[in-house]
Amino acid sequence: MYIFKSKEELQKHLAAFSKGKTIGFTPTMGALHLGHMHLIEQSNLKCDISICSIFVNPTQFNNPNDLAKYPNTLTTDLEMLENVKCDIVYNPPVNDLYVKGEKAKSYDFGSLTTILEGEFRPGHFNGMATIIQKLLNIINPTIAFFGQKDLQQLYIVKNLAKQMKSDTYIEGVETVRGKSGLAKSSRNKLLSENAKKEASLIYNCLNYCENNKAIGVTKLKSHIQKEFLKNENFTLEYAEFVALKTMLPIKDWEAVNQSAVCISAYHSGVRLIDNIIL
């Protein structure tokens, strides 16, 4: 496994070794878990070369405390990537991707950013899109792999690739979950074992929506709100039913697999998000 700290060295290596080969790319901020490994495995299956970036992007944190608290587990991350047979890791310092004082670009993603994470994390998606655009331009992958857990991000990146006129195909990969249904997330490391058990409430609500779709959006939303009120350790930030193509709220279901239920909630001060496509 090759590890590069500079984009020039990475590009030099790719120019020498990637001719005629397909490149799979998984961008991460480290603190890797089984969900990330699943993305690399998909990349290994579908591409000749698998690249993973590890870079904690400062421009997508609207809360400086979140940036300061973000876990740094680089040694373990690299071991995990080696075990899953990742070919290349790009782990640059900030000054390899940003010039001093550089801010996030401003993008127009239309309705995709007006609610959910866009509402509760102002500036987040501009920062995310800024770094993804830089990484896609540096690596020029055949396929870039993104987890479905960050559903809004996935659809924004698809839109970004169109705006860039990029040849990279953006592939969404199904969320990896623990036995309790809790979605794998870097933030889970901040939860106690008891909190992780209680956090299965999120998936239980999503599962209920899947099994009771026929009762309609309004009743399902009410059910989620009532379930969260029963648990004093949880604060529900949002439970929203949206159309996938626009990320706008719906009152009735779209076509099959064109709607999603998205939940954000706090447990023990840790913010957790999840969703299910219906």
Asked whether residue 25 carries a pLDDT value surpassing 90, the answer given is: yes
166 and 190 share one domain: no
Q: Are residues 129 and 28 in the same domain?
A: yes
Domain termination site, one of 151, 173, 195: 173
Judgement on whether residues 12 and 80 belong to the same structural domain of the protein = yes
pLDDT of 192 > 90? The answer is yes
* pLDDT the model gives residue 262: 98
Q: Is position 7 within any domain?
A: yes
In the chain, the number of structural domains is 2
Position 71 scores a pLDDT of 81
Report the alpha-carbon angle 200-246-263, nearest 5.
Answer: 15
| Torsion over CA: 34, 241, 132, 123 (sign) | negative
Q: Answer yes or no: is 153 within a domain.
A: yes
In a domain, 181, yes or no: no
pLDDT of 17 strictly over 90? no
Catalytic residue annotation:
36
**Residue 98 covered by a domain:** yes
Percentage of residues in the chain having pLDDT higher than 90: 91
Q: Give the pLDDT mean for 62-89.
A: 91
Instruction: Decide if pLDDT at 150 tops 90.
Output: yes
pLDDT reading at 65 higher than 90:
no
Domain span at residue 229 reads 186-277
Q: How many CB atoms lie within 10 A of CB 225?
A: 12
CATH number for position 210: 3.30.1300.10
Secondary structure (DSSP) of 255-268: STTSEEEEEEEEET
Helix or strand or coil: residue 215?
Answer: helix
**194 shares its domain with 163:** no
Do 193 and 121 share a structural domain?
Answer: no
Region 260-273 average pLDDT? 96
180 within a domain of the structure (yes/no): no
Mean pLDDT of the chain: 95
- Rounded to whole angstroms, the Cα distance separating 106 from 222 reads 36
Check which CATH number belongs to the domain holding 37 and give it: 3.40.50.620
For the residues 104-108, what does the mean pLDDT come to? Answer: 96
Same domain, 133 and 9: yes
- Domain check: are 168 and 207 in the same one? no
Q: Is residue 99 part of a domain?
A: yes
Q: Which of 59-73, 95-109, 120-134, 250-264 is the least confident region?
A: 59-73
Give the span between the Cα atoms of 186 and 182, in whole angstroms: 12
Query: Per-residue pLDDT for 61 more than 90?
Result: no
Residue 226 pLDDT > 90: yes
- 232 domain-assigned: yes
Q: Are residues 153 and 68 in the same domain?
A: yes
Q: Please check whether residues 38 and 151 belong to one and the same domain.
A: yes
Of the two residues 19 and 152, the one the predictor is more confident about is 152
Phi-psi region of 197 (alpha: psi -120 to 50; beta: other; left: phi over 0): alpha
| Distances in whole angstroms, Cα of residue 186 to Cα of each of 77, 164, 275 | 11, 29, 16
Q: Which of 173, 206, 225 is the last residue of a domain?
A: 173
The answer on pLDDT for 81 being more than 90 is yes
When pLDDT is cut at 50, 70 and 90, the band that residue 19 belongs to is: confident
Mean pLDDT computed over 86-115: 96
